[in-house]
Amino acid sequence: MKLYYTPGACSMAPHIVLKELGLPYSLERVDLATRKTESGEDYLQVNSKGYIPALVAQDGTVLTEGIVISQFLADLKPESRLMPTAGMGRYLLQSLLVYISTEIHKPMGAMFNPNMVEATRESTQALLSKRLDWIVTEQLGANAYLQGDNFTIADAYLFTVLGWAGLVKFDLSPWPSLQAYCGRVAARPAVQAAMKEEGLI
């Protein structure tokens, strides 16, 4: 398998999942400004959407959308328990993945826009704060991870998105339990290995 990625971007979530699963893969870095890969490929020929990640599966199928890629990978090794295989637990995790994607990823990512006016930035930060309040009070609580003591693909995703907070000047200090959570995730060997491969540590 081959994962197309950009360091520290949302592609890091499936990269972490690959490391957690111990699956064989290769990496191909993408320059999002030029849409060229490190080996000179036209990335638009790989993923016509133009953004990362993309995964070339074992049979040559190209999968896009990070939460779909992570689910696909987790299903390759169900014994890893990175995602429930069936039943209500699976739907609850999928619901959480969609929440992170639409309610946390999108507003956090929007703040990378250098042309965002201050009023819009303030309203975006206020919205994001409400969404993180829900994560902390209704989902994380006193748990080690989002769904209890078991690390899942949702943790890989949320950790990746929260990693952008410093870059967009969004203060996470109002949520000390969330900061502690990020520290726990960051300390996992698979997360350390993925970050090292991406040149982030």
Q: Do both 131 and 166 map to the same domain?
A: yes
Question: Domain count of the chain?
Answer: 2
- Please tell me the distance from the alpha carbon of residue 104 to that of residue 144, in angstroms, as a whole number: 20
pLDDT by position in tens, the chain (length 201) = 999 999 999 999 999 999 999 999 999 999 999 999 999 999 999 999 999 999 999 999 999 999 999 999 999 999 999 999 999 999 999 999 999 999 999 999 999 999 999 999 999 999 999 999 999 999 999 999 999 999 999 999 999 999 999 999 999 999 999 999 999 999 999 999 999 999 999
Q: Do both 100 and 10 map to the same domain?
A: no
* Confidence (pLDDT) at 151: 98
* Confidence (pLDDT) at 174: 97
* Confidence (pLDDT) at 64: 98
Range of the domain at 46: 2-80+190-197
Q: Do both 60 and 94 map to the same domain?
A: no
Q: What is the CATH number of the domain that holds 60?
A: 3.40.30.10
* Confidence (pLDDT) at 32: 94
